[in-house]
Chains A and B, each alone.
Chain A
Amino acid sequence: GESVGLHLPTLSVQEGDNSIINCAYSNSASDYFIWYKQESGKGPQFIIDIRSNMDKRQGQRVTVLLNKTVKHLSLQIAATQPGDSAVYFCAEHLGGYQKVTFGTGTKLQVIP
């Protein structure tokens, strides 16, 4: 079923530090995972994705780690900047289906 949070956990980090945002996904049959960033009043914006046959993928300042054994995803942001302040969602895609299910979300606050 859908994973809907009743509140958003918040992560506060100092500007310049690295951020790690964690996510537990629900379905062991999910084969594709995406991290999205959502700024206030806007739609989610794609950050990075990873397929289930990988355990790590790097982008510009971001890295996604996948641990299928414990159904865990993490998003690492290097040298966090004020513009990174937003809510971050992991999303999972079940193989053979089109729809994408979102996780609870984490609010990232960057302290200047």
Chain B
Amino acid sequence: GAVVSQHPSWVICKSGTSVKIECRSLDFQATTMFWYRQFPKQSLMLMATSNEGSKATYEQGVEKDKFLINHASLTLSTLTVTSAHPEDSSFYICSARPGATDSPLHFGNGTRLTVT
């Protein structure tokens, strides 16, 4: 149980275009989801906390107008990278927890974004 599904698993887009990444909790409801970014050989950096029915909470240094987050239902959060540039190329991973706050996060399998 507790599966988090992410789509697409990889995407290549041209500079200046926008890309949407979906994160779904398949067998549980998630009022909160988390979006992380990971550069090669580095750790996961939290970008934002997605809250169902309200605005996302962004970490310091993350541009909210560039990384649009929508959490319209209890099982779906989307991250849209707007006007993507090559420096946005990265591995984006979402997560959610089916239990209490002191329980493990479950992660999707990530989306590899390459901006050309």
Q: Tell whether, in the assembled complex, residue A98 and residue B107 are in contact, meaning their CB atoms are under 8 Å apart.
A: no
| Contact with A44, one of B42, B44, B45, B60 (Cβ below 8 angstroms) | B44
Digit string of A26-50 for contact with B (CB within 8 Å is 1, else 0)? 0000011010100001111110010
Majority secondary structure, A binding face: loop
* B: number of interface residues (CB 8 Å): 27
Complex interface: chain B residues within 8 A of A5 (CB) = 41-43
Q: Is the CB of A98 within 8 A of B101?
A: yes
A42 CB → nearest B CB, Å: 5
Category for how many chain A residues contact B: 20 to 34
Give the one of B42, B46, B93 with max A CB within 10 A.
Answer: B42
Cα of A32 to Cα of B103 in the assembled complex, Å: 8
Find out whether the CB atom of B43 lies under 8 angstroms from the CB atom of A102: yes
Q: Which of B77-116 contact A (CB under 8 A)?
A: 93, 95, 101-110, 112
Enumerate chain B interface residues (CB-CB to A < 8 A): 4, 6, 32, 34, 36, 41-46, 49, 59-60, 93, 95, 101-110, 112
Question: Which A residues are within 8 Å of any B CB, using their own CB?
Answer: 1-8, 31-32, 34, 36, 41-46, 49, 51, 89, 91, 93, 97-105
